[in-house]
Amino acid sequence: MSTAITAPKQSKEPGAKPRRKKPSKVAAGSLSAMYPVAFMVIVFAVWWGVTSAGIAPAYILPSPADTWAAMTDNAAYLAQHTWVTTWETLIGFAIAIVVGIAVAVAMVYNKTMERTFYPIILFAQVVPKIAIAPLFIVWLGFGPQPKILVAVLMAFFPIVIAGISGLRAVDPEALELTSIMGSSRWKVFTKVRFPAALPELLGGLKVAATLAVTGAVVGEFVGANAGLGYVILQANGNIDTAMLFAALIIMSLMGVLLFMILDVVERLSIPWHASHRNKDA
């Protein structure tokens, strides 16, 4: 990117070099976006072809047009429920971030904490969330709380794991250096340890974000009167496959969007990291 911007400044040269460089960069950029777009076009074409040829009846596979119609006709209804799931996801994700990082820090700084928490965390991760979700409904009712809790549980694990290995990834000599500088533990954490952990932590957050969406919907499956999980159950009951598809697509877009937001956050917060340096080389 930076070379593309600075290229015109070097126009003292015959111009061949910058001119050659610039289009190749642009082409490479649009090309990388072209692959998924092309893939989606093909998927839609096959989808459209299969349904319009009458191979599959509409209650098994609705056509793209039917799905689009289900979306636009019920825009208000879908927006309302999307909003509910979005909130559950975001609140669950936020709680998972705070608790996940706190637990990771506690476990890295304290051996006893590690020995105590690690088995519990692993146990909580291994238990299928869909199996304990009904219990949460019994405990917390039909409101958003049990959904948020499932989202937290799903998102928590990758954050803790990434946090722990990130905090351990710090250069030992950088730590020795801070001991000579007489730094307080807080300063060492904020200025050295935490920034060093960011690359791994952000990787964990990306995984966790998509899991938070899944968690919220799983929570809704078990007992809800709002949210995309509820919409899917309703549509399923009515054999309204078009609506079901519409809800699924919205759900996927939500996960992708959250992932992309975190990708931008990653680019902005750790531009120094090798994973970004090599990207446009």
Partner 1 sequence: MSVTVEEREPATMTDTALVDVENVGITFQTRKNTVEALREVDLKVNQGDFVALVGPSGCGKSTLLRSMAGIIQPTTGTVSLRGEEIEGPRQDVGFVFQRPALLPWRDVQRNIMLQAEMRGMDKNQAKARCEELLELTSLTGFKKSLPHELSGGMQQRAALCRALLHSPEILLMDEPFGALDALTREHLNSELQKLWNSTNMTVVLVTHSVAEAVYLATRVVVMGSRPGHIIEEFDVDLPRERDYEATMADPEFHRVAHGVRELLGGAHGNH
Counting every residue written for the chain, the total comes to: 281
Give 176 or 280: the residue with its C-beta nearer to partner 1.
Answer: 176
Residue (of 148, 116, 112) closest to 129 by Cα position: 148
Give 76 or 281: the residue with its C-beta nearer to partner 1.
Answer: 281
For the chain, the helix, strand and coil percentages under 3-state DSSP, each to the nearest 5: 85, 0, 15
What is the torsional sign of CA 176, 182, 187, 191?
Answer: negative
Rounded Cα gap, residues 149 and 141, in angstroms:
12
Query: Least Å distance between CB 106 and partner 1?
Result: 23
Radius of gyration in angstroms for the set of CA atoms belonging to the chain, rounded to a whole number: 24
Task: Give the helix/strand (H/E) hosting 19.
Answer: helix 16-52
The one-character DSSP state at 170 is: S
Query: Least Å distance between CB 184 and partner 1?
Result: 8
| Cβ proximity of 121 and 158 under 8 Å | no
Query: Least Å distance between CB 163 and partner 1?
Result: 17
Query: Least Å distance between CB 97 and partner 1?
Result: 20
Query: Least Å distance between CB 192 and partner 1?
Result: 7
Give 145 or 269: the residue with its C-beta nearer to partner 1.
Answer: 269
Give 5 or 180: the residue with its C-beta nearer to partner 1.
Answer: 180
Give 31 or 274: the residue with its C-beta nearer to partner 1.
Answer: 274
Query: Least Å distance between CB 278 and partner 1?
Result: 11
**Sites of contact with partner 1 (CB under 8 A):** 171, 173-174, 176-183, 187-188, 191-192, 195-196, 198, 270, 272-274, 277
Give 174 or 257: the residue with its C-beta nearer to partner 1.
Answer: 174
